[in-house]
Each structure stands twice: as C-alpha cells, then as structure tokens.
Chains A and B, each alone.
Chain A
Amino acid sequence: MSLLSVQELSVSILSDDGAARELVSKVSFDIEAGKTLGLVGESGCGKSLTAMSILDLLPKPQARRSHGKLIFNGETISTAAPSRLRQIRGKNIAVIFQDPMTALNPVQTVAQQIIEVLNIHFPKLSRRKHRERALELLHEVGIPAPEERLAVYPHQLSGGMRQRVMIAMALACEPDLLIADEPTTALDVTIQAQIVRLLKRLQEKNGMAMLFITHDLALVSQLSDHIAVMYAGKIAEYGPAKDVFSKPCHPYTQSLIAALPGINSPAKSPLLALEGQVPAIENMPPGCRFANRCRHVANICHTEIPQQDVNTNATMVACHRWKEIKQ
C-alpha cells in the first residue's frame, strides 16, 4: 500500500472575472513509504499547487481543491477537519520551501523556530528536552558549531545554512513524508550538492518518503525512484525514474531532455528548442494541452484529451500518438 495516494486531484483558481479556472487538472500519483517521487515541470505548470493542496496550504479563497481524493496512511485527508490537518502538518508530513529567507521568521532565533514545532506536537516535553532536540537536529543537518547557531537569526546565516535550518525544522518530528518544493533552486551548485546528499542520507536513516519538486531534470533524475512530468496542469508522463529518462515516451519529456545543453551536443551547435509557449490558462485548448508545441501533432490532438496509457515499463503516458513516435 502506498503512503500517499493522490487521486484525480484538481485545483481551481478564481480569476478576476469570477470564472473558476483549473490550474491543476485530474492529477494522480502514489508515493510509497521511504521512496522519492520527483515532480518536474516548467514554471506555472502547477507542480507547487499540487504539493500545497496536499496539506491544504493553498492561498484561499482564490485557490481551492475542486476535485479529487487524498489518502495518507489509509486516512482520507482530503475531507479531514482542519484540526486533524494541523496534527498531520509538521508531524507526519513536513514541507521545505525554495527560499529559506522568506520561509523562516526573520525576528525569531533558530532555536525559537525549531522549538515552536516541537512545542506544537510534543507539548508535554520539558523546555530542556526541546532544546536538546533542537541541538541534535542542527548537528544532524551538518551545521558547524550548532550551540552557537541556536541563538542566531536567519539573516546571520548563509543561504545553504538557512536551508539546513529549514530541513532541521521539517525533520523535528521525524515525518513520514517530506515535501521539498524546489529546495535547492536558490543555491549554488556546490551547496546544492551538499543539500542533496544530506537529504538522501536523512531519508535513508529515517526511512521517510519524499515528494521532490523541481524544474531541474538532471537533479530529479539522480534523486528519484519515480518521476512525474507535468505540463500545463496535467501529468504528461509518470513512471520509474530510469525509464522516464532513458526511454521517454511523451513528446514533451523528449523535448525537455533534448533542450538541455551539454549532454551530447557539441558546443555552439543549435539546441533542439521547444518552440512556442505554454497556452494561457484562459484559453486552454480543448484537446491535448501540448498540441500547439508538439512536433508530432495530429488532428486528433486538437480535439480530444489524450487518455492515460500504460506502456510495458509501467510508465503512464498521456499522448494519442506515443506508440507511433517511439524513439
């Protein structure tokens, strides 16, 4: 049984003219205990909205979950009461965000912020125990001189150190699932490598599952067991990480991989760019949402929404023509 099962999740946004528009449309995936699902896609494809709707952290009232079911550890959390969700948040499912500077409270010390989490979920433990645990966490995430860092404010730390503090907060209650929303995008590659290694190590140690959201294909390919590729609010391709990258079936996944410089392309040669743009939300095409940019587009793509097809590697592909265009 999977740890988290997301079934036909849709998120709608109320626009200025009063119309509800579906930014995330019938997204389904499963995360198994201890495994990592990588959710990749370009900006605006709905990957963060998908993640935030799991914990009901959508910006209300504009955005709301309009359809779908979420089952976490056998419990249907999509219909759970707010008080129950508050218990789950931080304790069973924790989140780390892209920008640790805006996600941390600038007027509280590192110690106060970590202890706040412990206070909410373990109110019976003594202050001293909380402090000891905070120290232990900072040590675990590899912050040098953790005793001194407890008393500092976020602005006194570097970007990489701030992200480590965020991770320490997220791990405070040893969650079953960690949602990491672009956790290394704001960091330099050397620091990114350190943080990725840290997350991997902690995952192995605590056996936690991860939903890793990023736009970086190479990064997600190194981290994930399964990958879901999102485009314009829908999942285009979803399957085991090694198959999705070595044998991509959806034309969008293929183009994304081809557009990356430097893998096999000789320097200064033209890249296989994906022409055009993502369609605007107010005029989503009636058929396949990728149709206007697809190299393999046919008549059917403009009129009918592609069904989710499953290939031999157990990869789900949402394309009318994937069998014909296989590489």
Chain B
Amino acid sequence: MSESILEVQGLQLHFSQSKGIFTRQRAVVRAVDDVSFSLRSGETLGLVGESGCGKSSLGKALLNLHRPTAGKVIYQGQNIAGLSDRAMRDYRRSLQMIFQDPFESLNSRHTVSAILEEPLIIHRIGDAESRRRRVAELLDMVGLPSTASSKYPHEFSGGQRQRIGIARAIALKPQVLICDEAVSALDVSVQAQILNLLLDIQRELNLSMLFISHDLSVVRHMSDRIAVMYLGQIVEIGEAQAIYSHARHPYTQGLLAAIPKLGSAPEAVSLIGGDIPSPMAPPSGCRFHTRCAYAKDKCRVDAPTLNVDHDGHPAACHFWKELTVA
C-alpha cells in the first residue's frame, strides 16, 4: 500500500440555516458528518452519491473553502486547520480544484492568458516572460491552440472551456486535483475527450485525484478506489473493482442496479424506493433504513459504523455479510 498524501479524520461540516422567515430558530444541516478516509499518493479516489449527499461540500472542506466544524484534514502529515495564512496559501497551491460548470467558473472578462496567469501572479512565480511561456505550455498540454490565449471564455465551447479550467488547475503544478463533477455538463463525445485528458495529465504529473461525480460509470472508469456517500456519511469504500463486482452496502447495490445499461431491459424492481431524506433531520439509526429493502429493527435504532476491516473494503451496514451471501 502506498502512503497517503491526504488524510481526513472524523470530518464534520455543519451549516446553520434559518428555519423560516418568521422564526429565529435555526436548523443544522449536517452536510458532512463524521467522514474519514485517506487519499493515497498517485491514486484516484472516486466519490459517488446522489445530489445533496455532501460530496461537493466535502471537496470544498478539503480546500478549506468551508471551514470544518470538527475533525481534521491532514496533508503530508500536517493538520491544515493550524496553518498560518502563508502556509495555507502554499497548501492551496498543491491542492487544486476543477469545477462542474465551465461557464461559471471562468471570469468572462478575462482573456484566457489572464485566467491562466493569475495563479502564477498570486503565487509570485516567474517574470512576465516566463509566465507567458508557461501559459503557452499549459495550453499545449490541454490540447488548445496557442491562439486561444488572447480569446475570451465565451468564444469557446463547453469542452474547450473545461480544458481551460484544467489548464488553470495544473498551472501551479499541484499534488492533488479535486474534480467536482468535472464532466457532468458535457456531451458524451466531449466527455470522453476530457476524461482522456485528465488521465493523461494525471500520468504525466503523477497527480492524486479526488474524482467527485454522480455518474457511476464515469467514476468506475477513472478510479482506483471508490467511496460511496449517503446523507453526509461514507457508507462503503474499497477498490473500484470490488465495489462494482461485490458491492456490500444495500445502497451501493441499489445505485448500481439503477444505472441504465445499454441494450438491456430495466431492472424489474427498484432496490431503492422513495426520496433522499432531509440532511436537517437525518433518520435515526442507519440513515439509509427508510429506503432500504432489507431494513430490520436494529437498523432503526443503531447506527452502523464503517469499520476498517482486514480486506480494506468496509461497509457501514449491520447485515452486509448476510446480504452478500444471499
């Protein structure tokens, strides 16, 4: 097992929100609730779950864009909560993010060269001449022509804009790349181009990646290991192969069964009924019990834990052993 570059321990991220315009009461949204995992050097960890399960909030908490309510994020042995402003700037230099919407995440009033140069200026890297060279190099790496540098974001298609976003993210030669739904807004043919580009860049720069997506077939293609999130918690984590062929948690099994497969009939019965409950009032016991086909009395009372067991494929379910046998 290679060593971990990023270690997350008991991370919690709670948002307080007004209960309504006529009340002063506040409700707490438990976006991320006691999440622990490690990102190994050079690997891609896929993070999947339905909308609102907290996967994007978790990604932002790693960059300290949201300050965690509790828990630790440890980067190369150092807790990032204790970093000085200056050290935080260095930390952010080594952790970069690619966002979902290539239309909103680029400044529409800046040219491409200004967008790519900005991180270099902020981190005081090189002089004007070397920065220009670096911009040209970055454009080349992401497969854009050098003429792109004087254009504005609106002159590009969605896929090309995502390339600009990737070029900006790798401008500072980061160690870790967080891709938050990086290909969700793209068409199939363009999506494949961007996925190939991400794989190339990862190999070239030896990047570790946290790949957040709701699309399980994309995650499967990109990841070495996969973590499945439900209502702010990780319910299963393991090698990608193991997750897809021997899913242990009923939620993972249901998610996989729900993906439409080319040319096959839809599943006759849905393993997961109903809607995702509100993260303001998560169900008691196991959070998934309201939608689980196998829920028993114990599940309504006791919250299962994600025990890291001997085979490195833990599932937070009381009964997973019986379910896999059945």
- Residue A287 lies at the interface, judged by CB distance under 8 Å to chain B: no
Asked whether A261 and B195 contact (CB < 8 A) given A42-B188, A190-B255, the answer is yes
From 108 to 162 in chain B, residues with beta carbon under 8 angstroms from any chain A beta carbon are 157, 159
Chain B residues, Cβ within 8 Å of A193: 257-258, 260, 266-267, 270, 272
Residues of A within 8 A of B221 (CB): 261-262, 265, 267-268, 271
| Sample of 19 further A-B pairs with CB below 8 A, known A158-B275, A218-B259 | A188-B214, A190-B254, A190-B270, A193-B257, A196-B260, A218-B262, A221-B262, A257-B262, A259-B191, A260-B192, A261-B192, A262-B216, A262-B221, A263-B262, A267-B222, A270-B199, A271-B221, A274-B192, A277-B159
Interface, chain B (partner A; CB < 8 A): 44, 50-51, 157, 159, 187-193, 195-196, 199, 214, 216-218, 220-224, 240-241, 254-255, 257-267, 270, 272-273, 275-276
In the bound complex, what is the Cα–Cα distance between A188 and B214 (angstroms)?
Answer: 8
How far is it, in angstroms, between the C-alpha of A268 and the C-alpha of B275 when the chains are bound?
Answer: 33
B196 and A274 form a contact (CB under 8 A): no
Instruction: Tell me which residues across on chain A come within 8 A of B218, comparing CB atoms.
Output: 261-262
Question: By the criterion of a CB under 8 Å from any partner CB, how many residues of chain A are at the interface?
Answer: 45
The residues of A that contact B188 with a CB separation of less than 8 Å are 42, 215, 217, 256, 259-260
Q: A261-B220, A268-B199, A272-B192 are in contact. Are A160 and B259 (CB under 8 A)?
A: no
Chain A binding surface, main DSSP class: helix
Given contact pairs A218-B260, A261-B220, A189 touches B192 in the complex (Cβ within 8 A)? no
When C-beta atoms are compared, the residue in chain A nearest to B244 turns out to be A262
**Docked complex Cα distance between A217 and B188 (Å):** 9
Between A and B, 24 residue pairs with Cβ closer than 8 Å are A42-B190, A188-B214, A189-B255, A190-B254, A193-B260, A193-B270, A194-B273, A197-B266, A197-B270, A215-B187, A216-B260, A218-B262, A221-B262, A222-B263, A222-B265, A223-B266, A242-B263, A260-B188, A260-B217, A270-B196, A271-B192, A273-B189, A273-B190, A274-B193
Interface residue from A222, A255, A268 paired with B266 (Cβ < 8 Å): A222
Q: A150 interface residue, CB < 8 Å from B?
A: no
Residue A52 lies at the interface, judged by CB distance under 8 Å to chain B: no
Question: Within the assembled complex, what's the spacing in Å between the Cα atoms of A245 and B260?
Answer: 14
Q: Are B259 and A189 in contact (CB under 8 A)?
A: yes
**A contact set with B: CB distance below 8 Å:** 42-43, 158, 160-161, 188-194, 196-197, 200, 215-219, 221-223, 242, 245-246, 255-257, 259-263, 265, 267-268, 270-275, 277, 293
A189-B275 in contact (CB<8A) = no
Bound Cα distance A268, B218 (Å): 10
Residues of A within 8 A of B254 (CB): 190
Q: Which of A43, A245, A268 contacts B187 (CB 8 A)?
A: A43
CA of A247 to CA of B267, assembled, Å: 23
B132 to chain A minimum Cβ distance, whole angstroms, is 27
Report the Cα distance A247→B241, complex, angstroms.
Answer: 29
- What residue in chain B is nearest A158 (Cβ atoms)? B275
Q: For B195, B262, B276, which residue has the most chain A Cβ atoms within 10 angstroms?
A: B262
